[in-house]
């Protein structure tokens, strides 16, 4: 395998108008640089002629790879597929809509090399987007920054650069591409930087932005926090809850028995002592013990599933080109 400095991963969904111009701008920007690189286009199940445009580019440029997903799985799956193909020492991601400036590619590459970061995120400090997109984005970034403890201003920025070992250590799904810095941090890659980048106005097509993306994003933030904390040892979560409920039920039973024996000891008539099965606490204790056992079993089964099914992919590739 030949040595490559950089892999540029570009997911695209219905971006047929911008791809040729984007490719031309990237090659022009990097032509004067002593840089061995590859470009990887991923067609995320586009409904227009995006794949045809990619094929045209591939026929002219052998440094470029193409991959077409069976349907529109979403940006996270498209990036994950591109990451699996990347061979460069560093991997850069950017959007296909021309809003990410190709001239920022070498600047980010130089920055991560000099500062020896594990990853560097772009920061669109001056955004050329409407208010209905920028205001929710600022709120989203603020919440994510507080929750994650990572001091980034723009988690949503599409242009980022990573060491190859960073992206090879993660699996993406849902809207989790937004949280790659957080996932990387939890995987031990703590040197995370940020660099201000230029942001262009959208030239072609329509934005894929919608408020539902932020709702899904917040849900995925909760999900990724839970999954990455307990994915290797789910028994730590379910087992702990199971033990708590079991002990709660056990001590409740103990309290019922103690109360009954105490009343017998005081020579209270057996007819005046309420039967155990008529006491609400009995059923609370019974439910708690059953729930505790079930949670413990869920943790045990989760451990087995992780061992059996840890590397299964959830997307299907329809076509590849220039891929060995």
- Among the CATH numbers 3.30.470.30, 3.90.550.10, 3.40.50.620, 3.90.1310.10, which is that of 6-231? 3.90.550.10
pLDDT, tens only, 288-317: 999 989 988 887 787 677 656 555 555 667
**Which segments in the chain show pLDDT lower than 70?**
1-2, 128-133, 205-214, 216-218, 220-221, 223-233, 270-272, 303, 306-316, 324
pLDDT value of position 315: 65
The crossing angle, in degrees rounded to 10, of helices 280-308 and 234-265 is: 160
With the CA atoms of 40, 56, 44 and 313 taken in that order, what torsion angle do they form, in degrees rounded to the nearest 10? -50
Q: Do 12 and 44 meet the contact criterion of CB atoms below 8 Å apart?
A: yes
pLDDT value of position 261: 80
The crossing angle, in degrees rounded to 10, of helices 211-230 and 131-148 is: 10
pLDDT value of position 52: 94
Q: Do 44 and 77 meet the contact criterion of CB atoms below 8 Å apart?
A: yes
How far does CA 237 lie from the centroid of its chain? 21
Query: Where are the chain's structural domains?
Result: 6-231, 234-308
- Angstrom distances, CA of residue 122 to CA of 51, 80, 138: 27, 19, 15
The crossing angle, in degrees rounded to 10, of helices 104-115 and 19-31 is: 50
pTM listed for this prediction = 0.73
Question: For residue 90, what is the enclosing H or E element?
Answer: strand 90-93
pLDDT value of position 216: 67
Residue 265 buriedness (CB in 10 A; 0-12 / 13-18 / 19+): exposed
pLDDT, tens only, 188-232: 899 999 999 998 887 776 665 555 666 766 676 676 666 666 666
The DSSP result for 221-251, as a single string, is HHHHHHHHHHSS-HHHHHHHHHHHHHHHHHH
């Amino acid at each position: 395998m030949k040595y490559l400095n950089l892999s540029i991963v570009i997911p695209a969904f219905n971006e047929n108008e911008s791809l040729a111009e984007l490719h031309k701008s990237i090659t022009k920007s990097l032509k004067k640089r002593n840089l061995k690189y590859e470009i990887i286009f991923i067609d995320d199940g586009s409904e227009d002629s995006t794949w045809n445009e990619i094929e045209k580019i591939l026929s002219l440029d052998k440094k470029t790879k193409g991959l077409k997903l069976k349907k529109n799985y979403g940006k996270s799956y498209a990036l994950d597929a591109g990451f699996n193909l990347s061979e460069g020492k560093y991997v850069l991601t950017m959007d296909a809509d021309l809003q990410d400036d190709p001239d920022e590619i070498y600047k980010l590459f130089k920055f991560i090399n000099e500062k020896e970061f594990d990853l560097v995120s772009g920061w669109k400090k001056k955004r050329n987007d409407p208010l209905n997109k920028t205001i929710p984005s600022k709120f989203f970034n603020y919440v994510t920054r507080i929750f994650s403890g990572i001091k980034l201003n723009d988690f949503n920025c599409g242009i980022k650069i990573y060491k190859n070992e960073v992206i090879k250590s993660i699996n993406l799904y849902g809207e989790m591409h937004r949280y790659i810095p957080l996932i990387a941090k939890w995987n031990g890659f703590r040197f995370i930087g940020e660099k201000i980048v230029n942001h262009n106005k959208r030239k072609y097509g329509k934005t894929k932005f919608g408020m539902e993306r932020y709702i899904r994003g917040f849900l995925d933030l909760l999900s990724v926090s839970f999954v990455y904390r307990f994915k290797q040892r789910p028994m730590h979560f379910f087992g702990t809850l199971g033990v708590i409920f079991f002990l709660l039920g056990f001590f409740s039973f103990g309290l019922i028995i103690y109360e009954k024996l105490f009343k017998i000891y005081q020579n209270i008539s057996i007819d005046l002592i309420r039967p155990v099965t008529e006491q609400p606490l009995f059923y609370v204790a019974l439910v708690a013990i059953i729930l505790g056992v079930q949670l413990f079993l869920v943790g045990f089964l989760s451990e087995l599933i992780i061992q059996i099914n840890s590397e299964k992919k959830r997307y299907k590739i329809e076509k590849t080109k220039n891929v060995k």
